């Protein structure tokens, strides 16, 4: 072990002592083996899972070099399995049917439920039978738009059980976004819930889904069924705020509830089916469909630089091995641990590390419906104490938000059960890392800063909590099977210390296989810039000790509270407003969200820039994308800084957004005087 310093933290000894990987020597030896002999390394791991048929062809076959032909990746050719069977049946058959799979914790602390593996399996089979009865079969796409309830896990596993493909859309997306994704996937079924309380706010999911279904049917997408979970009658509504003002929820109660307090929904009997009614009429047994390992498991939409989201497609076998293995090693999971990941299943973190990774390991997890600050700012810590959570996984944006309330809300609770604390979604600033370590972890935990992407399926660069001495802010070293390189602009590899494009040299089992319906987009987005490499779109630095520091996106993507957005996506929403002729969006650093949106708009003739317009524009982005994408700043731009060839010089806009006059060389602009004008027009609130 190196000497512990202010910049280097050794793994907690209580973790190392029992760890699956307890030293850097062991990590290096396992990592070497995973690269030298992937078949031996991953072949050993396949033995832990049920494969109905063994590998018949090549264990791994791929092409990463676009100049040599089509990009493809295939693992475990010819083998057959079912991921739902491996998540549930395997454990139930081993006598673990009564083990807790999830402690469900509602938005309100009064709401909680315990779900065992055996119960999950029965409900999954029931939903699978409901889907089959509606004609859903292997390869069909099922859209899911749900809150963080057990039914969401049940729905995704039921889809996987019958070989269909799930496309989960985060419950914070708007009707437009849901419809776009359903159209792209040509989904034949939607699964949703009546509504959910998120903190004091009501999210009327069914109402939004109804609007989305109207948009779909206007474009000739026939949806056979909208399966609706009745959730509102089971949960506690928010109480009036303690300061006497009506909480947001009270307004919702007036408009969305009838006199008896029942939640109202519009019902279209030609598509709408209540979940509980449908489940009561079917069997709780359903044989799994044995699938090829390279058959699709799910698609999940992520932002694309063209503004049109892309359906990242993952396949069954490789994703199963990879999420299971990363979960086991990155969190050092052992039976008896209680694990809590705060991510929503609507994002990749929830797919891989709320559902698949934990269930494949037979783990016991907390499934949390609410938000970190409701009904008080100690909610996470209260839950950790209540369930004696030992492995906790959250995002830097949440850590920063909670840090603002000081140490006291943390210190109120007994968090001594904690052993491993994870971080994901964006680079974690050392200040937040240290607070997480010292205040939440009481300097007696291992921190894992896990770098990965929707596309990578699971962690690709991460410390191992029993082995890796950590430097706050560094994601440290590649996971097993991952071969990292840094390239300069010309594609030359940077060896040793240096900074460049973060790329991967070969496939690991959990990587995406294609963009749904558009393989060419997959090839151009990830493989065209540097033939022979998967390009992450992130920059990274390697220090003299070989530690990797991910520095953030180097494309036109921004990361708001750990959620990727493309500037193009935001700009195309803004220009839909009749008063906007042109728009440019850039990222501005934000103390809690990491980055926020700062937008420049050029108006069409005759329009004036007023508060009402600003509010309308913010709303436009909310309704096209979702509330989480709402811009923090919108400023008037009589013109945009463009080169003579018409390309917007975004680095200048980024400088204006933060009030920095150090613009660099602007001589190539068609009209350099616009820069000064834009600087003067910065909104007052942006100067704080
Ligand atoms: O820029 C990186 C950042 O998040 C991007 C991936 O976003 P998404 O596909 O939405 O998946 C988020 C959850 C896995 C990456 O390209 N990112 C994610 N984790 C880290 C990170 N940047 C630095 N450090 C991390 N630990």
Q: Tell me the pLDDT tens digit for each residue of 450-478.
A: 999 999 999 999 999 999 999 999 999 99
Q: For the segment 247-267, what is each residue's pLDDT rounded down to a tens digit?
A: 566 677 778 999 998 999 999
- Give the residue whose CA is nearest to atom 23 of ligand 1: 427
12-79+452-551: what fold? Luciferase; domain 3 (2.30.38)
DSSP secondary structure letters along 557-613: EEEETTEEEEHHHHHHHHTTSTTEEEEEEEEEEETTTEEEEEEEEEEPTT----HHH
CA 644 to chain centre: 39
For residues 154 and 224, what is the distance between their CA atoms, to the nearest angstrom? Answer: 20
Q: What is the CATH number of domain 82-306+314-371?
A: 3.40.50.12780
- Spatial CA neighbour of 576 closest among 616, 636, 626, 536: 616
CA of 384 from ligand 1 middle (Å) equals 25
Check residue 247 and give its pLDDT. Answer: 57
Pocket of ligand 1 (CB under 6 A): 302, 348-349, 424-427, 449-454, 475, 536-538, 550, 552-553, 559, 563-564
Q: Please report the pLDDT score of residue 580 as a whole number.
A: 94
Torsion angle of alpha carbons 104, 108, 111, 114, nearest 10°?
10
Q: Output the pLDDT for position 555.
A: 83
**DSSP string of 15-38, one letter each residue:** HHTT-SS-SHHHHHHHHHHHHH-H
Q: Which residues of the chain have pLDDT under 70?
A: 240-250
Q: What is the DSSP letter of 643?
A: B
From the list 557, 567, 489, the residue with the least C-alpha distance to 529 is 489
Q: What is the pLDDT, as a whole number, of residue 558?
A: 86
pLDDT value at residue 657: 97
- Report the Cα 350 to chain-centroid distance in Å: 6
Relative to beta strand 514-515, strand 498-504 is: unpaired
**Domain 563-687, CATH 3.30.300.30 — does that match?**
yes
Contact indicator for 305, 557 with CB cutoff of 8 Å:
yes
CA distances to 65, 66, 212, 475, 537 from 526, in Å: 11, 10, 31, 21, 8
In this prediction, residue 78 carries a pLDDT of: 97
Map residue 123 onto helix, strand or coil.
helix
Domain borders along the chain are 12-79+452-551, 82-306+314-371, 563-687
Cα(432)–Cα(574) distance, integer angstroms: 33
Radius of gyration of the chain (CA): 25
Strand bridging mode 310-315 / 514-515: antiparallel
Cα 564 to ligand 1 centre (Å): 8
Quote the ligand 1 centre to 220 CA distance (angstroms). Answer: 36
Which residues have C-beta within 8 Å of that of residue 651, sequence separation ≥ 6?
664
Q: Check residue 95 and give its pLDDT.
A: 98
Closest C-alpha residue for ligand 1 atom 7: 453
Q: How many CB atoms lie within 10 A of CB 591?
A: 12
């Amino acid at each position: 072990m190196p000497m512990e310093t202010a910049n280097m933290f050794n793994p907690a000894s209580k973790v190392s002592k029992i760890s699956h990987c307890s030293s850097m020597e062991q990590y290096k030896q396992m990592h070497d083996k995973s690269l030298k002999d992937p078949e031996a390394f991953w072949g050993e791991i396949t033995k832990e899972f049920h494969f109905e048929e063994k590998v018949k062809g090549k264990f791994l076959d791929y092409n990463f070099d676009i100049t040599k032909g089509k990009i493809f990746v295939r693992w475990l050719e010819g083998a057959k399995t079912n991921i739902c069977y491996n998540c549930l049946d395997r454990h139930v058959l081993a006598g673990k049917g009564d083990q807790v799979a999830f402690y469900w914790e509602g938005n309100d602390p009064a709401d909680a439920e315990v779900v065992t593996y055996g119960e999950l399996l029965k409900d999954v089979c029931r939903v699978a039978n409901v889907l089959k009865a509606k004609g859903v079969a292997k390869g069909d796409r099922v859209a899911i738009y749900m809150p963080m309830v057990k039914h969401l896990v049940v729905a995704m596993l039921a889809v996987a059980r019958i070989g269909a493909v799930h496309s989960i859309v985060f419950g914070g997306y708007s009707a437009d976004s849901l419809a776009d994704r359903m159209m792209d996937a040509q989904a034949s079924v939607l699964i949703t819930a009546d509504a959910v309380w998120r903190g004091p706010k009501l999210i009327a999911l069914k109402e939004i889904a109804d609007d989305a279904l109207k948009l779909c049917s206007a474009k000739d997408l026939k949806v056979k069924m909208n399966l609706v979970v009745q959730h509102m009658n089971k949960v506690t509504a928010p109480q009036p705020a303690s300061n006497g003002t009506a909480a947001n929820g009270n307004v919702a109660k007036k408009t969305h509830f009838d006199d008896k307090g029942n939640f109202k929904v519009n019902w279209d009997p030609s598509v709408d089916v209540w979940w509980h009614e449908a489940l009561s009429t079917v069997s709780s047994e359903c044989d799994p469909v044995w699938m090829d390992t390279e058959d699709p498991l799910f698609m999940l939409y992520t932002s694309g630089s063209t503004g049109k989201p892309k359906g990242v497609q993952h396949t069954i076998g490789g994703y199963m091995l990879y999420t299971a293995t990363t979960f086991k090693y990155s969190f050092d999971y052992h039976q008896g641990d209680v694990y809590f990941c705060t991510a929503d299943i609507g994002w990749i973190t929830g797919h891989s590390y709320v559902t698949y990774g934990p269930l494949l390991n037979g783990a016991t997890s907390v499934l949390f419906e609410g938000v970190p600050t409701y009904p008080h700012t100690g909610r996470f810590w209260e839950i950790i104490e209540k369930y004696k959570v030992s492995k906790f996984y959250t995002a830097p944006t949440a850590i920063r938000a909670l840090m603002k309330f000081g140490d006291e809300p943390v210190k109120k609770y007994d968090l001594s059960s904690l052993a491993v604390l994870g971080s994901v979604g964006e680079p974690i600033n050392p200040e937040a890392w240290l607070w997480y370590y010292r205040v939440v972890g009481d300097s007696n935990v291992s921190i894992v800063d896990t770098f990965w992407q929707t596309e990578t399926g699971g962690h690709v660069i991460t410390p191992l909590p029993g082995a890796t001495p950590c430097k706050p802010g560094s994601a440290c070293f590649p996971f097993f099977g991952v071969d990292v390189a840094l390239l300069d602009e010309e594609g030359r590899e940077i060896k040793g210390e240096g900074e460049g494009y973060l790329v991967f040299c070969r496939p690991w089992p959990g990587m995406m296989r294609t963009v749904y319906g558009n393989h060419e987009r997959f090839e151009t987005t990830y493989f065209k810039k540097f033939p022979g490499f998967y390009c992450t779109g992130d920059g990274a630095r390697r220090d003299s000790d070989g530690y990797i520091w991910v520095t953030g996106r180097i494309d036109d993507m921004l990361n708001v509270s750990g959620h990727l957005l493309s500037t193009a996506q935001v700009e195309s929403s803004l220009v839909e407003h009749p008063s906007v002729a042109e728009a440019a969006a850039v990222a501005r650093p934000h103390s809690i969200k990491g980055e926020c949106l700062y937008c420049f708009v050029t108006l069409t003739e005759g329009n004036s820039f007023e508060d009402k317009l600003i509010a309308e524009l913010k709303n436009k982005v909310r309704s096209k994308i979702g509330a989480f994408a709402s811009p923090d700043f919108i400023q008037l731009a009589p013109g945009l800084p463009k080169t003579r060839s018409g390309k917007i010089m975004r680095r200048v806009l980024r400088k204006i957004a933060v009030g920095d006059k150090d613009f660099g060389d602007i001589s190539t602009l068609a009209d350099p005087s616009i820069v000064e004008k834009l600087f003067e027009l910065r909104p007052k609130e942006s100067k704080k």
